[in-house]
A and B are shown apart, each in its own frame.
Chain A
Amino acid sequence: MENSTTGAFSEQRSSLNSKYFSSFIHELNPTKDFKSKKPKFKQKSNHLASLNSKLGDLASKNINLDQFSQSLLTLKEIQGHKVIHLYMHEKGLQHAQHYQITSDEVKTSSENVSLFLKFYQSIKKSKNRSFGQSSLKGFPYNIIGTFMAREFTLKSHNLIFIVSREDFLDYTDNDIDFFNSLCSVLPLYFNRYLINQAYLSEGFFNEALKSIIQNELHSFPSFLQEEQMQINHQQRLHLLGELLNTLQHEISNPLFGLQLSTKTFAHQDLSTEDLETIDLIGQSISRAQKILKNFSFLYKDTQKVTTIQFEKLFQEVLILAKSEVRGIEINLEIDPNVTSIQFESNPTWIAQILFNLVINAAQALKEHEAHKRQITIKLDINNKHISVSVLDSGLGIKTEDESNIFQNFFTTKDKGTGLGLALSKKLANKLGGDLSYSNRSDSPHAFILELKR
């Protein structure tokens, strides 16, 4: 397929673009409806292939969606179109974003979503996609002359794509054919840009912020340092939360499909051994689902207060810390009086603090190659407080370090940020409690999270 292509731009296709092309074919023609589309697709494949290869080129050079769209105007195939309008709405938001793109500038503005929806519907209903100047009456942006428009339902956005030559000549069948070809390929790129966009910008910002914090912030006044640290923490949590959210959505659906399919075998005439295997598959899937769910919960940006079920919370934290606590004996010591009282707090924050303490303890035990490896999570209650202690069988904190451990950027680990304990203490304070380190001679060393009743 690669060498026999005779489209106008085939000679410029690189192997990278062939890769784009095959993935594009796959996306455009998933096996389930391949049959119905095949004849039409075959006729146009050369034309589409060269167009797609050009778009792949442009996409590899341009970082943003608006830059990518601007570069579309440089294509020979765009046949003299001067202006592109991208009018899009991120699902779930109240406003829609508009980009008016010419070869030398990009104007952006934003509108309430209701107008967007109106035009989205009218374009969707139009048959030939070609419009005269008056046909989209009330369109909030100035389009000169006749134009072609198409609406796209993308993964995260709905989008209206408009091209105009800024003249008043009617579009020919040829023009419309070209536009349709373009529109069959574009969503692939739009999707990539729009999905990557959020992560990229946050990722860059986050990295930049991190390097500032790690290299330069020591000289900043402490209140600024504090603020930056909080921002960085929020950013990280937010980014992780988003990432996990996407992962959860993309993975939990196929996992659920697998889980559901294991249930359909129960009614079949299978050997006990086979049924057991299928049951084990189901259990593994449930475990994966649970981990995914718990991780999303741990990084959820939430202020939500609920009744805390401590034992369940401990179990969830331990599931998440599983790879770190491998080979370490874990004990839970729970004062039975706690389970009988209703205690309300932010479970996500408590989980974040405990996760951090458990990971620290596990790493310390491994680093010092402790003979006995044991972590105990202890839950106590008195008249004023509920306290959660994390104890480990390691050496504890060196006396000279004790006064520094809750300081920002203080770390004894090679790759530590020195933020874990400092932020945990902040979170504890935000919960109306405190986090402290206890190293009394009459009891084992422990980190203690105290929460006011």
Chain B
Amino acid sequence: MKILLIEDELLIQRSLKKLMELKGATVDTTSQGKEGIELIRSNHYDRIITDLMLTDITGFDIIEEVKTQFGDNELPQKFRVITAYSSSKIVENLSKYNIKVINKPFEDLNATIELLMDLNE
């Protein structure tokens, strides 16, 4: 499984990359949203995991920018959002796209990794 991880907290980025690699994934990472968009445009990823509050743009901006690249059905399948800001507003906004949200800090690390990589499906 080829995964793109967009996360600007470097320790989270590195650790998550490593933990997913241990489960057999290939993981590209970036901490910049704009670079993330470029990577999505020029590569094929099975899964894109993005934080919401990045330093340059938001995860919403990324989804908006690239959503035409994917079909309506494919979008929720491609994306997973991880966020520390889980206001009802954000959940509501994301439910428009039907994208799964995972709150940071993760309550159950293994279950989260499995959810991020669809291992239990």
Q: Show the binding face of A for B, using Cβ within 8 Å.
A: 32-33, 92, 153, 249, 252-261, 263-264, 267, 289
Contacts and interface: CB of A to CB of B under 8 A. Distances in A.
B114 interface: no
Nearest to B93: A92
21 contacts: A32-B31, A92-B89, A153-B57, A249-B85, A252-B104, A252-B105, A253-B12, A253-B84, A254-B11, A256-B9, A256-B12, A256-B106, A257-B11, A257-B15, A260-B12, A260-B16, A260-B106, A261-B15, A263-B109, A264-B14, A264-B18
Contacts of B109: 260, 263
Nearest to A92: B89
Contacts of B32: 33
Nearest to A285: B105
B34 to A, nearest CB: 10
B43 interface: no
A33 B33 CA distance: 13
B76 to A, nearest CB: 23
Contact of B84 (A252, A258, A260): A252
Contact of A153 (B31, B56, B87, B105): B56
Nearest to B112: A260
B13 to A, nearest CB: 8
B10 interface: yes
Nearest to B7: A257
A73 B85 CA distance: 37
Contacts of A267: 22
A333 B84 CA distance: 37
In the A-B complex, the 7 residue pairs with the smallest Cβ-Cβ separation, listed nearest first, are A257-B11, A260-B15, A256-B105, A257-B12, A261-B15, A257-B9, A264-B18
B19 interface: yes
Contacts of A33: 32
Contacts of A252: 84, 104-105
Contacts of A92: 87, 89
B98 interface: no
A250 to B, nearest CB: 10
Contacts of A253: 9, 12, 84, 104
Interface residues of B, number: 24
B17 to A, nearest CB: 9
Contact of A257 (B10, B22, B56, B58): B10
Nearest to B104: A256
A113 to B, nearest CB: 12
Nearest to B82: A256
B31 A264 contact: no
Nearest to B55: A30
Contacts of B84: 249, 252-253, 256
Interface in B75-119: 84-85, 87, 89, 104-106, 109
A264 B15 CA distance: 6
B11 A261 contact: yes
Which one of B11, B18, B106 has the highest number of Cβ atoms from chain A below 10 Å of its Cβ?
B11
Contacts of A263: 15, 19, 109
B22 A260 contact: no
Which one of A253, A255, A261 has the highest number of Cβ atoms from chain B below 10 Å of its Cβ?
A253
Contact of A260 (B11, B56, B57): B11
Given A254-B11, A257-B10, A260-B106, 12 more contacts: A252-B84, A252-B105, A254-B9, A256-B12, A257-B9, A258-B11, A259-B105, A260-B19, A260-B109, A261-B15, A263-B15, A264-B18
B40 to A, nearest CB: 18
Nearest to A30: B55
Given A153-B56, A255-B105, A289-B105, A264 B19 contact: yes
A32 B7 CA distance: 13
Contacts of A260: 11-12, 15-16, 19, 106, 109
Contacts of A255: 105
A134 B84 CA distance: 42
Nearest to A158: B58
B119 to A, nearest CB: 16
Nearest to A258: B11
A92 B16 CA distance: 29
Contacts of B10: 257
Nearest to A257: B11
Contacts of A32: 31
Contacts of B87: 92
Contacts of B12: 253, 256-257, 260
B46 to A, nearest CB: 22
A92 B86 CA distance: 12
Which one of A255, A260, A263 has the highest number of Cβ atoms from chain B below 10 Å of its Cβ?
A260
A261 B13 CA distance: 9
Nearest to B88: A92
Contacts of B31: 32
A92 B31 CA distance: 24
A260 B107 CA distance: 11
B84 to A, nearest CB: 5
A257 B31 CA distance: 14
Nearest to A93: B89
Interface string B11-54: 11011101100100000000110000000000000000000000
